[in-house]
Structure 1
Amino acid sequence: MTASLTLMQWLSPAFPVGAFAYSHGLEQVIADGTVQDARSLQDYLEALVTQGSGRADAILLAAAYATDDLGHVDATARAFAASAERLRETDLQGAAFCNTARAVWGLDLHGLTYPVAVGAAARAMDIPLGNTLPLYLHAFASNLVSVAQRALPLGQTDGQTVLAALAPAIADTAGAAQTTPLDALTSTSFAADIAAMRHETLQPRIFRT
């Protein structure tokens, strides 16, 4: 029970990684009109979770959980970041996670990218990977739903409907990530990656990435 509560605390919006400040490029596709309602938001987030950066993060988290060589996994995560702001996002959130995990739980974590830090922390605390992966992806999707609610005329009920509809994709992606080797790390959400690059110069903008 304590392990589950710790995991929920790590992935809560209250945990100080600053996730609320990042749109992961979603602000750009909203500005473009690609995402404009609950249906298009659900489609966009499902693509990220199953084919894009959400899936990649899950594979990186699982690899970090399974290895004693965090440096290799972290270097892979940095090399895989599709844009300067995507790299800054995972770097700053990961550093913030490490700082808090070190201060509160005494974990010897320093300067890791976000999914690598969470995977390493879960292993150190004996939190099962099978619990960590779906909750990490759920937090990823939940944060982006929150972004959409601040940038679109999207109500609370619609936002929760989108998040509930993503549950099967989150569960499937999390399950597959447990057995996907790091060498199989891929992403096919090119439009989302390009949106993140374009978002670096979007004016005006509210969010990072």
Structure 2
Amino acid sequence: MGMITARNTDPIQRIRMSTDAVMTLTQWLSPGFPVGAFAYSHGLETVIETGEIRSIQDLEIWLVDLIKHGSGRTDIVLLSASYSLDLNVTHEADTVSRAFAASAERLLETDQQGGAFCRTLDAVWNTKLGALTYPVAVGHAACIHHIPLALTARMYLHAFAANLISAAVRLIPLGQTEGQALLARLVPLIQSTAQEAVDTPLSDLASHCFAGDIAAMQHETQYSKVFRT
């Protein structure tokens, strides 16, 4: 496995390298990969409980904002900042990631999923990631395995959206076909946001989805819960 370079003129070899990267990321970001993503709603459970999200249209508005202006985009900035073999760079991104978490549950979510991701890669791929927050772990692992950053960013953000749609399908509830149709509609936004966020320096990290942050805070004291966040 390796990164495609201009010196690689063999089309078969280029296809193999590209396919290897896609297959590796598909495994890492699959719902079956043991990071426990199914247990987290990212605050969605609260806004569904309060009636702020009742339909696929409400959900789409919420997710568009999260992807474009909130934690979806910020995760890609953190992922990009950690795309380095220099552990000092990775640990700096991880420190910022933890400090940037707006609530205890947001920190729990990124810490627990990141730790599980690291443990699985360390066991299966013989890496030594240690314990990192989720976007930082994925970015650093992708660099170690020579997986292109742009591809990693797009697939990570796609998995982020897919997991929240899956949570909403169970909570609202929505039909699975409705959920898949929404995910398909979000693809152009996912691609453009990932492309922009990859080029954003860590010093420009920012989020404008305060309602999402507040929902995550309120979930901490919500009486009845299905999800951990």
Structure 2-normalised TM-score? 0.90
The residue identity in structure 2 corresponding to 1:5 is M
Question: Which of 146, 149, 153 in structure 1 is aligned with 2:173?
Answer: 153
Residues 107-131 of structure 1: per-residue CA shift (max 9 Å, x gap) = 1101100000000000000000111
Alpha-carbon distance, 1:201 to partner: 0.8
Inter-partner Cα distance in structure 2 for 1:67 and 1:35: 41
User: Partner letter of residue 59 of structure 1?
Assistant: V
Runs of 4+ in structure 1 deviating by more than 2 angstroms, as ranges, are none
Moved more, 1-10 or 135-144: 1-10
Residue among 218, 221, 225 paired with 1:198? 218
Distance 1:66 1:175 in 2: 18
1:51 pairs with 2:69: yes
Q: Which whole-Å deviations, capped at 9, do the CAs of 1:67-104 have from their partners, x for residues lacking one?
A: 62211110000000000010011001000000001111
Identity across the alignment (%) = 57
Give unmatched runs, 5+ long, in structure 1: none
Q: Give the Cα separation in 2 of the matches to 1:133 and 1:184.
A: 17
Of 122, 125, 130, 1:105 maps to 125
Matched, 1:12 2:30: yes
List alignment gaps of at least 5 residues for structure 2. Answer: 1-18
Q: In terms of mean alpha carbon deviation, does 152-161 or 77-86 score higher?
A: 152-161
State the Cα distance separating 1:153 from its structure 2 match. Answer: 2.6
| 2:45 aligned residue | 27
Match of 1:180 in 2: 200
Match of 1:168 in 2: 188
Alpha-carbon distance in 2 for matches of 1:30, 1:36: 6
Cα RMSD of the aligned pairs, angstroms, is: 0.8
Aligned pair count reads 209
Aligned-partner Cα distance in 2 for 1:157–1:9: 23
TM-score normalised by length of structure 1: 0.98
